[in-house]
Amino acid sequence: MNKILVTGGAGFIGANFCHYWMQQHPQDQLIVLDALTYAGHRKHIADLEQQGLVFVHGDICDPLLVEELFEKYHINRVVHFAAESHVDRSISGPDAFIQTNVFGTHNLLKAAKKYWLDKGVEDHKFHHVSTDEVYGSLTDTAPAFTEQTAFAPNSPYSASKAASDHLVRAYHHTYGLKVTTSNCSNNYGPYQDAEKLIPLIIKNILSGKSLPIYGDGKNIRDWLYVEDHCRAIDLILQRGKVGEVYNLGGENEWQNIDIVNLICDLLDELFANDTQLRERFKLSPCAKGESAKSLITFVTDRLGHDRRYAIDPSKCHEELNYRPVESFETGIRKTIDWMLRNQ
């Protein structure tokens, strides 16, 4: 039985991970530490608390609390999701990103060293969840990021995540902490906060609001369905080599404008065949027989907006036998369906 500290477990990816893990590994105990900022919601995991998940409202930047959790619950695994993660917010207010992503991660590493290494606990693992944004930006024709790609972060957010990645690596190479890191591409799926592209577009279509597209809309991202991401972390914890980094991607590059057009087409289709949807979301142009594309509005591009991210997942294929289950077409339909049921 593993005692797993899941930081940020009430957030988007963290909540999905908790649901996945308790279904796949019911013998383990999850202890969720979450500060419940704007993107964390306890209701995402409320049903899991009835099944034994322990929820702790607190901050990873609180060293005494973190140490107390290691001691009280005999933690032997950490899966570290907690992070400030929205690029726009990092541009307007970078301090919170440095505090949480750098100092918060360091607090966790210090506690892990104190409780595991200083006490001779051999059976331990620390998995750090990071982002492809640490690698910077690619041109349209450049080869995809590999685990050997040099870091070149372009926003306060990605710079803070790069710093945390380096700290995790340092605690392995200096002290011998058993760590792994994953750098993932853009995630989407249930529980995602509405400030992110896909849920924002769906929500705005349903409420008849404009669909803001940065610049020319041709920025490219690789998209990974969140449950596929959770499966990959499971494999890394089981089979991943200590000290290694694994790039996780969906093998699924899309221009932003193409994603928006696809979501518009899918919702146009759903509304055309569902009277109840038209009645429920009367403010949507889809309810009036108009296309959701009428809401598309191009806005001034974001400062330092990276042009393209792309992941080369070869290492995960070869070492972990991992490939995503969901295509973008199946994953986006599941995401739309979830949002319609939970709007």
DSSP one-letter code for 293:
G
**Nearest of 227, 166, 155 to residue 191 by alpha carbon:** 227
193 as an active site residue: the answer is no
DSSP string covering 195-232 = TSHHHHHHHHHHHT--EEEETTS--EEEEEEHHHHHHH
DSSP string covering 121-159 = --S-EEEEEEEGGGG----TTSPPB-TTSPP---SHHHH
171 as an active site residue: the answer is no
Among 84, 115, 135, 157, the one annotated catalytic = 157
132 as an active site residue: the answer is yes
Yes or no: say if 182 and 125 are a contact pair by the CB < 8 Å rule: no
Q: Which helix (H) or strand (E) holds 245?
A: strand 245-248
- Residue 294 CA from chain centroid, whole number: 30
Q: What Å distances lie between residue 290 and 46, 200, 222, 236, 270, CA to CA?
A: 38, 19, 30, 46, 12
- Strand 296-299 relative to strand 245-248, pairing: unpaired
Yes or no: say if 75 and 33 are a contact pair by the CB < 8 Å rule: no
Among 133, 165, 228, 312, the one annotated catalytic = 133
Yes or no: say if 82 and 35 are a contact pair by the CB < 8 Å rule: yes
**Nearest of 30, 28, 32 to residue 1 by alpha carbon:** 28
Yes or no: say if 20 and 30 are a contact pair by the CB < 8 Å rule: no
**Nearest of 297, 296, 300, 310 to residue 255 by alpha carbon:** 310
Among 132, 228, 234, 326, the one annotated catalytic = 132
Tokens of 173: 């190479």
Rounded to whole angstroms, the Cα distance separating 85 from 91 reads 11
Q: Which residues are catalytic?
A: 132-133, 157
